[in-house]
Amino acid sequence: MKIDHSDFEIDLKPEAEDESECEGLSRCEQFESLEARLPSGVCKIGSVTDEVDNWRSWDCETHFYLIPVERGGFTYALVIISWDDNWEQYDIECVSRIKDNETKSEAKIALIEDWLESRSIDVSEGSPYLSLLNALRGGD
């Protein structure tokens, strides 16, 4: 398997042409608006809510998606929609791509593990990220 972190884009559906249409949307509506832009064939891997405790504390909500890609020999891409209540907004990020994986399940696990390692995220006992990984390892 090869995981690639170079910049890439996926074909998102267009966003609202009039930015004022997005103003005043609830947090839930903001999320639904971003999620609706994901391309067909998307597979939701799972979601995690966690508290970041640094010099200050804030809640993060992360939604993981596996998207089929057919460029450069890659099979899937990991895309994340995340909420950070410190910034009070959702963001969408194309994280990484994978090739030479055997199965869709293998791609999910490898991409999530790689993302966790790249962010130095704690996956010790009790971590919501460990719970996600354990669920993925249990099957598709």
CA distances from 56 to 4, 13, 89, 91 (A): 33, 36, 18, 21
Range(s) of the domain holding residue 89: 2-137
The total number of structural domains that make up the chain: 1
Which single residue is written with the structure tokens 């909420």? 83
Look at the pTM and tell me if it is higher than 0.85: yes
User: pLDDT tens-digit profile of 88-119?
Assistant: 788 999 999 999 988 999 999 999 999 999 99
- Per-residue pLDDT, averaged over 32-59, amounts to 86
Contact 78, 95 (CB under 8 A): yes
Mean pLDDT calculated for residue range 13-18: 68
First to last CA, the chain: 19
Mean pLDDT, residues 51-63 taken together: 77
pLDDT score for 16? 61
